[in-house]
Structure 1
């Protein structure tokens, strides 16, 4: 499977830190993507992904940056 871990050239103006968070490619979302991918492939328990969401205070209701 393909998992995006970065972004380039989306034309928004802000700090790198804020843009990485907005596009869900900061260090917290990268950790979540890797853990979620491993859980989806059966190599980790999905509870680990839930723990990452809680640990890094990731908003599961945040709109996808693609739709905003």
Structure 2
């Protein structure tokens, strides 16, 4: 699922994010969403989230529901 729509992302879902330092390479990090940081319903580069691990990045892909 696409990570540019806020309605597709919620706390507890598994996602792949791109960290700020990985934007050039496109390397993704998998994790579970703790907080949604983007307030807008849509963002062209991906909704910004904080994972339970503390990592912050933009959602590249939604992998599934609650982990």
User: What TM-score do the two structures reach when normalised by structure 1?
Assistant: 0.26
Structure having the higher strand fraction is 2
Task: Tell me: higher relative CO, structure 1 or 2? Use CA pairs within 8 A at least 6 residues apart.
Answer: 2
Structure having the higher helix fraction is 1
User: What TM-score do the two structures reach when normalised by structure 2?
Assistant: 0.26
